[in-house]
Amino acid sequence: MQIYADNAATTRMSRTAIDAMLPYMEEIYGNPSSLYSIGQRAKEALEQARSDIAAVIGADPREITFTSGGSEADNQALLSAATLGKKQGKLHIVSSAFEHHAVLHALKRLESEGFEVTLLPVHENGIVDVREMEAALREDTCLVTIMTANNEIGTLQPVREIGAVCRAHGVPFHTDAVQAVGHLPIDVKADNIDLLSASAHKFHGPKGVGFLFARRGVRLTNLIEGGAQERGKRAGTENVSGIMAMAAALKEAAAGMAENAARMTALRDRLIAGLSEIPHSALNGDAVRRLPGNVNFCFEGIEGESLLLLLDDKGISASSGSACTSGSLDPSHVLLAIGRVHDVAHGSLRLSLGEDATEEEVDYIIRSVREIVEYLRGFSPVWRDLQSGKTPFIL
Amino acid sequence: MALYSEKVMDHFRNPRNVGVIEDANGVGEVGNAKCGDIMKMYLKIEDEIIKDVKFETFGCGSAIASSSMATELIKGQPVSEAMKLTNKAVAEALDGLPDYKMHCSVLAEEAIRSALDDYNRRKGEG
């Protein structure tokens, strides 16, 4: 059985998305900035895509800027808010401890340029406390940036409440919605979102394309200087075929969203129930307030990479927050942020189901994980010490 | 290109000499769970020859493969030869390890050394 259970990393492109991109590679390949007809037809298509995307999140087409993906959108959002802040003498930013590195590393750079960053705790359940967020606001806060859904543990942040508080205090609010767009309903107006990042390949579109929503009045700062594309805010000939595919994928995702979310939530909960039966294991993050397809566990006494390799042998593609999969000595900053100690965080497993997942697949994953965890524990000196009582169990 | 060589995958999937030697006369444990790797080596030495060796490892694929290969390299060898085992020899026997995984072979060398030190210590006391 071949099961792709790493949809939080990337997704397979949908047939609709692939079909949507081909004409813009083979026939309507003109440069949207050119005046002849195949250029202008590409331009029209591009603007249609912009409208379609805007409609899904309740935005105005003029508020959508196409980017190379989520990381670029995050970087541009943060730089733009920081630039506006600096002009007003506001150099304080509020964020959370478990943001994506695209946000955390951009914040690090801003810190080196004189900004002060408050990283809110995300607690054991992996959710920011709105009261703590409000308490962190200062007179000189120029931005609040909190993700919509965490990329590792899938926990959903109270975006609407955060947006309302930010609006009341007059502070711009950015959300990295890369994991949520196309999977959960988003309404930038109702949620009081000023800036939002999204990436096509997380919702069955192509890699290398995404978008930044910026509410009208929020002036963007360029990351890339050059031509006048994207109202002068993002230079470079537009990735027309990619953008067409992104729009098609998002429309398709939005149309099936409620149905998919309900079915995937049921499968997710079945997977969580099955894996919970493995002794000394624990679900990471809130059991309910999480993405429909996200399951993230820690298994005591084993290391994540070996688990992934053996799962791969069984045809299951998954990921882990262990140090060995990140190429660093520390395990996932997300797991550490929710209070998992190093010893346990190394034994983590993230399974992110796709819309086409079945009960049969979920049951196969449960059996496989159970078997492999048992096997690896069988020759783990850590497990031996836990079992003999030499060291106490954590989970 | 795959993450690991076929040799590494073979030793990871079918680790040699896995387990515990109850009457081992040399035991060594290195690494710590905080860093994500622990190796424990058990030696049964008779007449200065390593008659049997077993290991237990908590760690990634290359840590398990390195432990397995290290036990293969010293099994049946005189203690004096086993003392000369280097991490390089372990990595080479595995047809190489990715740069950032070389520490796994270092850990294997240290685990063997630690078990041999324990043997020598016990011998001195005996």
Give me the interface pTM, i.e. the ipTM.
0.96
Query: Pick the catalytic residue: B3, B14, B19, B35?
Result: B35
Interface contact A322, partner B, CB < 8 A: yes
Last residue of a domain, one of A225, A255, A285: A255
**Separation between Cα atoms, residue A250 and residue A12, nearest integer Å:** 13
Within 8 A of B34 by CB-CB distance, chain A residues are 342-343
Do residue A381 and residue B57 have CB atoms under 8 angstroms apart? Answer: yes
Residue A113 in this model has a pLDDT that exceeds 90: yes
**Separation between Cα atoms, residue B94 and residue A141, nearest integer Å:** 54
Residues A145, A278, single domain; the answer is: no
Nearest CA in chain A to B68: A379
At B51, the amino acid letter reads K
Residues A81, A110, single domain; the answer is: yes
Residue B97 in this model has a pLDDT that exceeds 90: yes
The predicted pLDDT at position A328 comes to 67
The predicted pLDDT at position A327 comes to 61
Interface residue of A382, A384, A387 to substitute, partner B, most B CBs within 10 Å: A382
Q: Residue A326: which pLDDT band, with cuts at 50, 70 and 90?
A: low
Range B52-57 average pLDDT: 98
DSSP A280: T
B104 is annotated as an active-site residue: yes
Domains and CATH numbers, chain B: 6-125 (3.90.1010.10)
> CB count, 10 Å around CB of A279?
13
Residues A216, A322, single domain; the answer is: no
Nearest CA in chain A to B16: A379
8 Å CB contact between A184 and A156: yes
Last residue of a domain, one of A201, A225, A255: A255
**Separation between Cα atoms, residue A195 and residue B103, nearest integer Å:** 43
CB pairs under 8 A between A and B: 68
Residues A192, A244, single domain; the answer is: yes
Query: Pick the catalytic residue: A142, A166, A298, A324?
Result: A324
Residue A8 domain flag = no
Residues A87, A159, single domain; the answer is: yes
Residue A4 domain flag = no
Q: Residue A330: which pLDDT band, with cuts at 50, 70 and 90?
A: confident
Backbone φ and ψ for A268, nearest 5 degrees, come out as -60, -45
Q: Could you tell me what percent of chain B has a pLDDT over 90? A: 90
The predicted pLDDT at position B126 comes to 72
Range A76-86 average pLDDT: 98
* Domain encompassing residue A250: 15-255
Do residue B29 and residue A303 have CB atoms under 8 angstroms apart? Answer: no
User: HSE (CB half, 13 Å, CA atoms) of A92?
Assistant: 10
Interface contact A301, partner B, CB < 8 A: yes
Looking at the structure of chain A, the number of domains it has is 2
Residue A394 domain flag = no
Residues A236, A197, single domain; the answer is: yes
Sheet holding B26-32, edge to edge: B26-32, B37-46, B49-58
Do residue B57 and residue A380 have CB atoms under 8 angstroms apart? Answer: yes
DSSP A13: P
Q: Residue A80's domain is classified under what CATH number? A: 3.40.640.10
Residue A254 in this model has a pLDDT that exceeds 70: yes
The predicted pLDDT at position B29 comes to 97
Residue A6 domain flag = no
Residues A141, A273, single domain; the answer is: no
Residues A329, A363, single domain; the answer is: yes
* Closest C-alpha to A250, from A108, A72, A41, A59: A59
Range B101-126 average pLDDT: 95
**Separation between Cα atoms, residue A218 and residue A194, nearest integer Å:** 7
Do residue A380 and residue B56 have CB atoms under 8 angstroms apart? Answer: yes
* Count of H-run helices and E-run strands, chain A: 15, 12
Q: Could you tell me what percent of chain A has a pLDDT over 70? A: 98
CA dihedral A98, A100, A104, A109 (to 10 degrees): 180
Residue A47 domain flag = yes
The predicted pLDDT at position A325 comes to 64
Within 8 A of B100 by CB-CB distance, chain A residues are 327
Last residue of a domain, one of A255, A281, A308: A255
Residues A138, A161, single domain; the answer is: yes
**Separation between Cα atoms, residue A280 and residue A173, nearest integer Å:** 39
Q: Residue A114: which pLDDT band, with cuts at 50, 70 and 90?
A: very high
Q: Residue A283's domain is classified under what CATH number? A: 3.90.1150.10
Interface contact A302, partner B, CB < 8 A: yes
Interface contact A306, partner B, CB < 8 A: yes
Do residue B57 and residue A379 have CB atoms under 8 angstroms apart? Answer: yes
Residues A299, A247, single domain; the answer is: no
Residue A10 domain flag = no
The predicted pLDDT at position B32 comes to 85
Q: Which pair of tokens denotes residue A157?
A: 């942040």
Interface residue of B21, B42, B60, B64 to substitute, partner A, most A CBs within 10 Å: B60
Q: Could you tell me what percent of chain A has a pLDDT over 90? A: 97
Residue B1 in this model has a pLDDT that exceeds 80: no
At B25, the amino acid letter reads N
Residue A74 domain flag = yes
At A83, the amino acid letter reads T
Residues A39, A187, single domain; the answer is: yes
The predicted pLDDT at position A140 comes to 98
Residues A153, A22, single domain; the answer is: yes
Residue A76 in this model has a pLDDT that exceeds 90: yes
